[in-house]
């Protein structure tokens, strides 16, 4: 799962737990939940930091459903249930929850449209999950017109603005969220704004602050995973592996930590352990990016038939997402470019650019164009992906290969060397290609 999506999921869960606790929903006690920095109901009440009781998401949903049977006009519970359904869809990778979320959130608004900012937060979260970022921005702004103190809404707005390529506006929204609630979710978003600008040191410092201030083991695990991602993406596979293991110690079974652990193990040549971890991961959390990583590792090891099985699962999952209103993303476009029909990748990427002109989408679009022999157009797109200064090895690999296809050997050499210098483990299939092309250019990688 991409880091930005993981941050958005973390915020949503905090919002659910706050709303459930604040409005008297009975909860079973298990472990302490994250600190939810959100505004209480009403547009004129300042944000507070509220710790709520622990409960599993499934139990929270059951409690909300039970409450609504006896209090069907409780618009806050309807809104909270909608947020919970969105989060459950992400955790279980079951997009059937999205239509359910849409229904209950609209039910909430049908009861109260005057000051129901939580319903707009839910609709913004749902639209972000479905990759309809223009709608997410609209809903977030509607909610903020009711409650300008809501950290939930600023988080949703920052996510939407980022994916829409409105980076300055996204940074402003993140700062406003941070001002109102300097917790794990806001610090993670602030960290990401610096990562987008290529300042990994500042990104890491903010996540270290989040780790130091983490109020619960789950908050700490989240911060450790992001620190692990920053380490891995900078080429430090050993350091990343240690951080992912610490995250699993704090939160056993955490999907992002297990995925990171598998990725780092594969980079370090611990293939059997990595394969075992990936197999457990996709069984537990069949998220498309994890399935694709697993398939590409299998393919890199020569297990083509096993890889094809994972690719078939990826395709089936994407079809389910589409059936429930989720628009194509960069992962789908890259999959088609590398493992499916390259012409489909251009179609998916063009659709993606239309709805989310984010730098990751521009990278996928560039690669799709390259795979279809449209390298002059691809060069324009990949420069857009690199325009913020983000240190992304895959982006530089793609640019190097595009320049190589255009006959720009000097440019290709520079970009491929940069990709490997940023992270020599960035992809098990692409790294050998970069090394081979550099050797062909008579350069030691």
Selecting from 3.40.50.970, 3.10.20.30, 2.40.50.140, 1.25.40.10, what CATH number does the domain 1-181 have? 1.25.40.10
Spans of the chain below 70 pLDDT: 1-55, 443-445
For residues 114 and 155, the answer to whether their CB atoms sit within 8 Å is no
pLDDT at residue 326, rounded to an integer: 82
373 C-beta neighbours (distance < 10 Å), count: 10
How far is the C-alpha of 165 from the C-alpha of 153, rounded, in Å? Answer: 18
For residues 268 and 237, the answer to whether their CB atoms sit within 8 Å is yes
Selection from 170, 13, 96, 80 nearest residue 326 by Cα: 96
How far is the C-alpha of 419 from the C-alpha of 271, rounded, in Å? Answer: 23
How far is the C-alpha of 153 from the C-alpha of 120, rounded, in Å? Answer: 8
For residues 217 and 249, the answer to whether their CB atoms sit within 8 Å is no
How far is the C-alpha of 133 from the C-alpha of 145, rounded, in Å? Answer: 18
For residues 171 and 193, the answer to whether their CB atoms sit within 8 Å is yes
Torsion (CA) 256, 259, 261, 263 in degrees, nearest 10: -130
65 C-beta neighbours (distance < 10 Å), count: 13
How far is the C-alpha of 366 from the C-alpha of 380, rounded, in Å? Answer: 8
pLDDT at residue 52, rounded to an integer: 30
**With pLDDT > 90 as the criterion, what percentage of the chain qualifies?**
77
Selection from 223, 204, 201 nearest residue 214 by Cα: 223
CA angle, residues 4, 93, 118, in degrees to nearest 5 = 65
How far is the C-alpha of 350 from the C-alpha of 328, rounded, in Å? Answer: 10
How far is the C-alpha of 401 from the C-alpha of 161, rounded, in Å? Answer: 30
Instruction: List Cβ neighbours of 270 (8 Å cut-off, separation of 6 or more).
Output: none
Residues 381-400 have pLDDT tens digits of 999 999 999 999 999 999 99
Burial zone of 202 (CB within 10 Å; 0-12 exposed, 13-18 middle, 19+ buried): middle
pLDDT at residue 18, rounded to an integer: 52
pLDDT at residue 327, rounded to an integer: 80
Residues 400-422 have pLDDT tens digits of 999 999 999 999 999 999 999 99
pLDDT at residue 8, rounded to an integer: 60
Selection from 299, 102, 301, 124 nearest residue 314 by Cα: 299
How far is the C-alpha of 412 from the C-alpha of 441, rounded, in Å? Answer: 9
Cα separations (Å) of 281 from 258, 265, 291, 328? 7, 14, 9, 23
Would you state the structure tokens that stand for residue 138, as one six-digit string? 């609209």
pLDDT at residue 50, rounded to an integer: 28
53 C-beta neighbours (distance < 10 Å), count: 15
pLDDT at residue 325, rounded to an integer: 83
Same CATH topology for 1-181 and 342-440: the answer is yes
Would you state the structure tokens that stand for residue 106, as one six-digit string? 């609209």
For the chain, the domains span 1-181, 342-440
- What is the pTM (predicted TM-score) of this model? 0.87
How far is the C-alpha of 327 from the C-alpha of 72, rounded, in Å? Answer: 32
pLDDT at residue 2, rounded to an integer: 63
Q: Which fold has domain 342-440?
A: 1.25.40
How far is the C-alpha of 299 from the C-alpha of 413, rounded, in Å? Answer: 26
φ and ψ at 39, to 5 degrees?
-85, 145
């Amino acid at each position: 799962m991409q880091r930005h999506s993981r941050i958005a999921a973390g915020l949503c869960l905090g919002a659910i737990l706050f709303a459930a606790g604040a409005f008297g929903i009975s909860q079973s006690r298990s472990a302490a939940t994250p600190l939810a920095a959100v505004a209480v109901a009403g547009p004129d009440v300042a944000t507070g930091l509220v710790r709520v009781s622990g409960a599993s998401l499934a139990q929270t949903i059951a409690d909300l459903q039970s409450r609504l049977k006896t209090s069907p006009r409780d618009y806050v519970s309807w809104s909270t249930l909608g947020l919970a359904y969105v989060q459950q869809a992400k955790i279980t990778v079951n997009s059937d929850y999205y239509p359910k979320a849409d229904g209950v959130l609209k039910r909430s608004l049908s009861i109260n449209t005057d000051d129901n900012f939580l319903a707009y937060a839910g609709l913004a979260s749902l639209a972000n999950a479905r990759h309809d970022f223009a709608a997410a921005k609209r809903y977030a702004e509607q909610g903020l017109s009711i409650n300008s103190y809501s950290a939930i809404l600023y988080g949703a707005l920052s996510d939407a603005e980022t994916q829409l390529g409105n980076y300055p506006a996204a940074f402003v929204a993140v700062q406003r969220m941070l001002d109102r609630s300097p917790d794990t979710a806001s610090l993670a978003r602030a960290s990401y704004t610096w990562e987008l600008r290529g300042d990994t040191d500042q990104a890491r410092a903010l996540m270290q602050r989040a780790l130091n201030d983490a109020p619960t083991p789950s908050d700490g695990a989240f911060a450790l995973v992001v620190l692990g991602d920053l380490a891995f993406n900078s080429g430090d596979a050993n350091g990343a592996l240690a951080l992912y293991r610490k995250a699993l110690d704090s939160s056993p079974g955490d999907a992002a930590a297990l995925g990171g652990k598998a990725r780092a193990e594969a980079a370090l040549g611990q293939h059997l352990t990595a394969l075992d971890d990936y197999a457990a991961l996709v069984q537990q959390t069949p998220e498309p990016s994890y399935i694709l990583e697993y398939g590409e590792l299998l393919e890199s090891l020569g297990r083509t038939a096993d890889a094809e099985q994972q690719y078939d699962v990826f395709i089936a999952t994407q079809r389910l997402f589409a059936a429930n209103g989720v628009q194509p993303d960069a992962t789908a476009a890259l999959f088609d470019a590398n493992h499916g029909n390259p012409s489909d990748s251009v179609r998916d990427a063009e659709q993606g650019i239309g709805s989310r002109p984010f730098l990751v989408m521009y990278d996928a679009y560039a690669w799709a164009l390259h795979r279809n022999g449209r390298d002059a157009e691809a060069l324009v797109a990949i420069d857009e992906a690199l325009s913020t200064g983000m240190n992304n090895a895959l982006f530089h690999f793609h640019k190097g290969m595009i320049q190589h296809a255009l006959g720009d050997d000097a440019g290709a050499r520079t970009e491929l060397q940069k990709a490997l210098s940023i992270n020599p483990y960035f992809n098990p299939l692409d790294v050998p290609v970069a090394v081979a092309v550099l050797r062909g250019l008579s350069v030691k990688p």
